[in-house]
Structure 1
Amino acid sequence: MSTLLKVEDLVKNFGGLTAVSDVTMQLNDDELVALIGPNGAGKTTLFNLLTGVIVPSSGSITFRGPNGTIPLNGKKAYKIANLGMARTFQNIRLFKELSVLDNVLIAMTAHYKEGFVQSVFRLPKFYRTEAQIRQEAIELLKIFDLQDDVDKLAKNLPYGIQRRLEIVRGLAMKPKVLFLDEPAAGMNPEETADLTRLIRQIQREFHITVLLIEHDMSLVMNLAERIYVLDHGSLLAEGTPAQIQQNPAVIKAYLGEEA
Structure 2
Amino acid sequence: MALLEVKHLTKNFGGLTAVGDVTMELHEGELVGLIGPNGAGKTTLFNLLTGVYEPSEGTVMLDGTLLNGKTPSKIAALGLSRTFQNIRLFKDMTVLDNVLVGLSNGRSPHLLASFLRLPSFYKNEAELKQKAFDLLAIFGLEGDAQTLAKNLPYGQQRRLEIVRALATNPKILFLDEPAAGMNPQETAELTDLIRQIQEQFKITVILIEHDMSLVMEVTERIYVLEYGRLIAHGTPEEIRTNQRVIEAYLGGEL
Aligned residues: 254
* Deviation of the 1:112 alpha carbon: 3.5
1:86 to partner: Cα distance = 0.3
Offset of residue 108 of structure 1: 0.4
- Post-superposition Cα deviations, 1:155-210, rounded to whole Å, max 9, x if no partner, equal 00000000000000000000000000000000000000000000000001000000
1:160 counterpart residue number: 155
Task: Name the structure 2 match of 1:232.
Answer: 227
Of 95, 98, 103, which aligns to 1:103?
98
Q: Corresponding residue for 1:176? A: 171
Superposed displacement of residue 255, structure 1: 6.7
Q: TM-score, normalised by structure 1?
A: 0.96
Deviation (angstroms), 1:256: 2.3
In 1, Cα distance between the equivalents of 2:14 and 2:109?
A: 44
Residue 214 (structure 2) pairs with residue 215 (structure 1): no
- Within a 5 Å distance, the mapping from 1:26-45 to structure 2 comes to 26-45=25-44
* Residue in 2 that maps onto 1:58: 57
Structure 2, unaligned stretches of length 5 or more? none
Structure 2 CA distance for partners of 1:255 and 1:169, relative to 1, 3 Å: farther
The one-letter code matched in structure 2 to 1:16 is: G
Partner of 2:136: 141
Q: Distance in 2 between matches of 1:182 and 1:240?
A: 20
Report what 2:192 is aligned to.
197
Q: What's the CA shift for 1:252?
A: 1.1
Task: Tell me how far 1:58 sits from its aligned partner.
Answer: 0.4
Q: Which residue identity does 2:249 align to in structure 1? A: Y
The CA distance in 2 between the partners of 1:96 and 1:77, in whole Å, is: 21
> Aligned-pair distance for 1:111?
4.5
- Percent identical residues: 64
1:73 to 65, 68, 74: 68
Match of 2:6 in 1: 7
Aligned match of 1:243: 238
Question: Which residue does the alignment assign to 1:18?
Answer: 17
- SS of residue paired to 1:13: strand
Secondary structure at the counterpart of residue 59 of structure 2: strand
- Relative to structure 1, the CA distance from residue 258 to residue 176 in structure 2 (aligned partners, 3 Å threshold; closer, same or farther) is closer
Q: Which residue of 2 aligns with 1:49?
A: 48
CA offsets, 1:98-138, max 9 Å, x none? 00000000110125322111000011111111000000000
**Aligned equivalents of 2:57, 2:109: Cα separation in 1:** 38
For 1:142, the aligned partner's letter is: A
Residue 50 of structure 1 aligns to which amino acid in structure 2? L
Task: State the Cα RMSD in Å.
Answer: 1.0
For residues 251 and 89 of structure 1, what CA distance do their matches in structure 2 show?
26
